[in-house]
Structure 1
């Protein structure tokens, strides 16, 4: 009996943070975030396919997902936007989420009245509206999740990161199951426009989610007061000049990255920042000459407060050198995983696995292990601390990548395939939880939405820019998959060096 009690206490100590009521709120937020992907991913694709549209058309429709990659552009506005009546009544973050959910509801109603063969452009346009609403609410959902937990509660932040990931997968996978099950049952029942009717049923999930959202507490007074104080102190000529230097530095960095990786849009974005920097610098002299009591000066002060302050506060809080090292770590940490992920299905097919093998081991098994290992990863992060877990996760990701080298040399062994996928999911889950918790702790609570969106986008940019050359690397190695996976294992080293150099200087406790 005492042994059972001891084991129970160990489990409670390991997973106890998950019983905090805040974790169930974060789980709900994750579900709300994941569910729209069912609509614009699974449902829209299958609907168009079953209406006889071509694979090419369906593929082009997938471009609407691009808005998720650029939602950081309007994150500064979302951090400040106050909706009439709703913000004062239910809270700043929740009011924006409910407003976006309302747009998604209206979009489903519109979808339920349309025929793809006759209204394709309108259907995809409505899908874009859903994607923009979803990407916008994600900015706010991440901020509300972070603000549920005090900054010094690093263990709870790790648990919250795990629950957010589990919630997202639950919204996507369980929501997808409900969606497809309803559509199939309606089709088998002889309902002609079964997809349109399915969209009506799915509205119930959104309504129920919003009812649950209303019970999540939110406090904005301190954040808005801090923001107002900072705005007041930044409404001067010196702040405009500092903003011009900041934008010039960001522009130069974007141009450099664009040139290195051959990304024209990145280079053009850099030139845009240079132009903005020039305008800020020029109009600082305008303000000096004509004063600040005019529309032009006030407009530049507003832009400075909305766009430059969130960026400058990050470097003020961490220092320029530490801030750059943090950004370098975020940019580089998961590139090895991205290289592997980009080429994994090609690798599985080339060494002889069937689509059925891939479906079982990589997809169905992968989803189950992701949920389980995410919770375990959060528990380990709580006990070991965020930084130590990141180091362990980095080493684990490298080790599992080497397992794929072994698989490449051994040939299509199902047993080895299963082991490689399970351990890779374990390492990826640890990395994701620790990574999300890390960038959550790095944000200034006065600019939660903006800074989190920016840091997340830096991580996405690293994986997108660098992993795009993964196929070329395999070709350059003459199809040597074993050597390719060893190289991807080594890719984590630069990020871990960055982390080791700054781990004692970060403004977060290692454990709490």
Structure 2
């Protein structure tokens, strides 16, 4: 069992600093099309149902596995030569995020709602593509014998994501309460922040990988003695699109693979409804933009980062599966805290307590899930495998969040009942986790035996 001092020593690795920086860039788009957009739409008088529908753009994060094989294999002209496979895709994605954010800073939302929706879609599509490359970068940047650093890398990714989403996410809410500041002004500042985040690409080192060698060997196996043009095209398409999925099921077995996919899909359904409507809830219950910035952004971000390090140490010492159990139970408790706020009103002390529990939940669930999914990836197809597994985790969140506004309207604005229902949604995933726990522990033991 790793000691605390040994584990803390992992964070001296410069590669993990790069993982943190890319984590910040990964979380930042969620501000642009998530909490800040929800607040803007709410201030413009749009209905809960319409605000909820804007969450459908997050479907890009749920289906990004469809184009993840291209991120694994397609070499971008000029950028690939300058930056390498992973960093070139990260930079290209960030350019599109920057341009769409600048566009949002110039729109009249009352008369250009379709344009706003288009910008949100572009940011979501580019952000989802950026995530494919960033997750693959994190997996590739550690050597195969460094499996002991997987949870540390997951911690840095989680801490970075919450820095980008929550700590930087507090900035626009403080600015929105300033005299004469409009949301368009806020988006211009957010575009400048995005520009600064793009510098991280140039400070990171492209990971070494034998991925291309493996891909060429698989293509040669497919071609065999027929080297015709059509056969070579077929080989490239097979290795790019079909082989990653075949490799995943062959590696784990069909039954185990399906069980893993089902668990990942179920695990965060309890959070799905909460995520999109949380800002709407805070504003309806009576909290100001500055209070939301202080508690839900700064508070949650700082707490999550602290608990991310504690959670990763726990996962490293006692196993990822136990970490998943704890985070699932905490997830339900967190939603019940918000239900209590709905019943008693906007009390800051209760709000702070709910944020503490929610920060713990976010940290433990994200660190455990990121490390868990990373463990399941084949390094020859790291972008595709991680995107496939992570997108399943986002699938329930995306589709359910789109209907969350309709649910709260159906409940006649009964937020207490709404959060109680979200807490109950956690139970199926915990039951399923208990049923497959032995197989998951065996996979974890096999993964760590490589070091």
Identify the TM-score tier after normalising by the shorter chain.
0.7 to 0.9
Match of 1:316 in 2: 250
Q: Does 2:394 correspond to 1:460?
A: yes
Distance 2:188 2:350 in 1: 45
1:374 aligns with one of 291, 295, 308? 308
Is 2:23–2:161's contact at 8 Å kept on the other side of the alignment?
Answer: yes
Structure 2: gaps spanning 5 or more residues: 412-416
Q: Is the 8 A contact 1:310 1:450 kept in 2?
A: yes
Instruction: Choose from 43, 53, 65 the match for 2:58.
Output: 65
Report the alpha carbon displacement of residue 378 of structure 1 after superposing the two structures with TM.
1.2
Question: In 2 relative to 1, CA 451–411 (structure 1 residues): closer, same or farther, beyond 3 Å?
Answer: same
Q: TM-score, normalised by structure 1?
A: 0.69
Residue 206 of structure 2: aligned partner = 218
CA spacing shift, 1:95–1:493, aligned 2, 3 Å: same
The gaps in structure 1 that reach 5 residues or longer are: 1-9, 189-193, 238-290
| TM-fit CA distance, 1:57 | 5.7
The answer on whether the counterparts of 2:135 and 2:386 sit within 8 Å (CA) in structure 1 is yes
Deviation at 1:94, TM superposition (A): 0.8
Aligned to 2:324: 390
Residues of 2 paired with 1:372 and 1:466: CA distance?
29
Verify: 1:497 aligned to 2:431, yes or no: no
State how far apart, in whole Å, the 2-side matches of 1:334 and 1:199 are. Answer: 29
> What SS does the aligned partner of 1:373 have?
helix
Distance 1:29 1:35 in 2: 10
| Aligned 1:38-437 pairs, distance under 5 A | 38-46=31-39, 52=44, 54-55=46-47, 60-182=53-175, 185=178, 187=180, 195-219=183-207, 222-235=210-223, 293=228, 295=230, 297-335=231-269, 355=286, 366-394=300-328, 400=333, 422-423=356-357, 425-437=359-371
Offset of 1:201 from its aligned partner?
Answer: 3.7
SS of corresponding position for 1:503: helix
- 1:192-247 alpha-carbon deviations (Å, 9 max, x no partner): xx55454444333223222222111113552122222122223469xxxxxxxxxx
Q: What is the alpha-carbon distance in structure 2 between the residues aligned to residue 319 and residue 374 of structure 1?
A: 32
Work out whether 1:509 is the aligned partner of 2:443: no
What is the alpha-carbon distance in structure 2 between the residues aligned to residue 464 and residue 49 of structure 1? 20
Alpha carbons 2:42, 2:280 under 8 Å: kept: no
Question: What is the SS of the residue equivalent to 1:504?
Answer: helix
Once residues 64 and 258 of structure 2 are traced to their aligned partners in structure 1, the CA distance between those partners, rounded to angstroms, is: 22
Q: Which has the higher contact order (CA 8 A, sep 6+)?
A: 2
Which residue is equivalent to 2:382? 448
Q: TM-score scaled to structure 2, two decimals?
A: 0.77
Bigger Rg, which one:
1
Once the two structures are superposed, residues 453-499 of structure 1 have per-residue CA deviations (whole angstroms, 9 ceiling, x without a partner) of: 10112233466789989x79x99xxx799899678446412223213
Shift of 1:15: 3.3
Contact 2:58 2:398 in 1 (8 A): no
Q: Is the 8 A contact 1:382 1:511 kept in 2?
A: no
Structure 1 residue 83 displacement after superposition: 0.8
Partner of 1:205: helix, strand, or coil? helix
> Does the aligned pair in 2 maintain the 1:393–1:427 contact within 8 Å?
yes
Aligned-pair Cα RMSD in Å:
4.5
Contact kept? 1:314, 1:323, Cα under 8 Å? yes
Match for residue 30 of structure 1? 23
- Structure 2: distance between partners of 1:343 and 1:197: 24
Whether contact under 8 Å (1:439, 1:456) holds in the other structure is: yes
Matched residues, number: 434
Residues 1:131 and 1:186: Cα distance change in structure 2 (over 3 Å): farther
Relative to structure 1, the CA distance from residue 125 to residue 336 in structure 2 (aligned partners, 3 Å threshold; closer, same or farther) is closer
CA positional deviation for 1:293: 2.7
